[in-house]
Structures are given as C-alpha cells and as structure tokens.
Amino acid sequence: MFENLIDKVIVRYWDVFLLEGLKYTLALSAIAVCGGFIFGSLLALMKMSKLAPLRWIAAVYIEVIRGTPILLQLYLFYFMLPQWLPMLELSKFTCVSVALIVNSAAYVSEIIRSGIQAVDPGQMEAARSLGLSKTQAMVRIIIPQAIKNILPAMGNEFIMMVKETSLASTFFIGDIMTAYRTVQGATYLVIEPLIFTGIIYFVLTFLLSKVVGVFERRMQASD
C-alpha cells in the first residue's frame, strides 16, 4: 500500500493535489472568510441595533443558517443562483463561493458581536464624555479594540473553512477533495490517495493553527 502511495499517488500526482487542489482550497476559504467578515459585520451591527426589525432579521438569518447543514446550503445556492440570475452566467466556483460566504457570515457575525460586547462599556462612556458621537466612538475606540479581540477567532474560522470546503468537491470545483476524486479515477486506488489527502489537510491546518497561535501570543504580550 505504501509503495502505491509514494509511487502512484505522491510522485505522479503531487501537482494535482498541491498546485491545483491546494490553490482552489485556499482561494475558496479566503473568499468565504473575507466575504463572511464583511457581511457578518453588517449582521452584527443589525443584531445590536435599537431597531427591533433589524434585530429580528439578523437573528432569524443567523439561526436558520446555523441550524441547517452547510451541504444543504451549497446545493441550494448551486442550483438556485443560476435560475435566479441567468443573465450573469455564474460559474460553479462563484455559486459555491456565495454559499460559503452566506454560511461564514452567520458565524462571523457572532464572533464580531461578542468581540464588540467584550470591550469595557466604560470605553464608550469615556469617548462620549470627550465629545465624540456614538458613531465616532464606535469607529475610533470600540471597533479597533474589538478587532484585537476577534482576530484569534477569525483565524480559527479560516481553519474551519479550509476543512469545510471539502464539501465543495461535490460540485468538482478543483479543491483538494476534487483532486482526490481525479486521482482515484485515474489510478483506481481508494485508500492511498485518501491518505495523501488527509496528510495535506492536516499539514495545512496545523501550520495555519501555529500562525494563529503566534498572532494570539503577540496580542497577549502587547496588552
């Protein structure tokens, strides 16, 4: 088995896994987390709004997305978006990216909300006493401190998204699991390419977790 793993999988198809699969996996994860951060920030502000309708919309969205499987959401957007927006001729990659952004936003919004609420309320009071409006205090005082609080959690969200993109292989968009299916079909091997796929995911998430840990320690040291 190990001879097949090295000779028929790693030696012959490393470029399929590392040059193609890894590229699509990282790109998809980055798009999902960045888009989720933008959309999630809006959701977090809506959930903390004084307007009840905005809070209700944000709460329903978050509960629905977090309460349904991500694979179901991928299928929904994969088939729904081309029907709703036929004039755009959306690619498979785009449809899957939108689904992952929608999913990530629900989780990121709670990260952002908790980060903002973790800032001492006295900071807002002090800023208002200095003559800053609530918006100015939020932008200049609260949000910079909240970003520092949420960076480790955002790093962990990126790591989780790297693993969740494996579900996108259902639509053959070129990620690592798609590379696995390609190699499996070419070699008629099942276990060996699966082992190599697992090694890639483990090394990738391990390295990313170490990077997140470094940032976390630096932020703790700066406090």
- CATH number of the domain enclosing 129: 1.10.3720.10
Q: How far apart are CA 159 and CA 209, in angstroms?
A: 7
What's the residue count for the chain?
A: 223
Confidence of residue 206 (pLDDT cuts 50, 70, 90): very high
pLDDT at 7 over 70: no
Per-residue pLDDT band at 19 (split at 50, 70, 90): confident
Considering the entire predicted model, what is its pTM? 0.88
Cβ count within 10 A of residue 28: 22
Domain count, the chain: 1
User: Exposed, middle or buried: residue 205 (CB in 10 Å: 0-12, 13-18, 19+)?
Assistant: middle
**8 pLDDT tier (thresholds 50, 70, 90):** low
**pLDDT for the residue 223:** 58
Q: Which of 9-18, 54-63, 105-114 has the lowest mean pLDDT?
A: 9-18
Q: Are 196 and 5 in contact (CB under 8 A)?
A: yes
Please give the average per-residue pLDDT across 183-190, as a whole number. 85
Tokens representing residue 142 in the block:
């609260």
Q: What is the pLDDT of residues 74-100, one digit of tens each?
A: 999 999 998 888 887 888 999 999 999
**CA torsion through residues 169, 173, 178, 184, sign:** positive
| The predicted structure's pLDDT at residue 6 | 65
CA distance 178 to 188: 15
pLDDT band for 123, please (50, 70, 90 cuts).
confident
pLDDT mean across residues, the chain = 87
Find the range with the poorest average confidence among 14-18, 104-108, 194-198, 211-215. 14-18
Q: Which residue has the tokens 């952004």?
A: 101
| Whether pLDDT at 30 is above 90 | yes
Residue 21 has pLDDT above 70, yes or no: yes
Amino acid at residue number 217: R
Question: Are 96 and 168 spatial neighbours (Cβ–Cβ below 8 Å)?
Answer: yes
State the Cα–Cα distance between residues 28 and 25, nearest whole angstrom.
Answer: 5
> Concatenated DSSP letters for 149-210?
HHHHHHHHHHHHHHHHGGGGGGG--SSHHHHHHHHHHHH--SHHHHHHHHHHHHHHHHHHHH
Range of the domain at 165: 2-222
C-alpha span between 162 and 155 (Å, rounded): 11
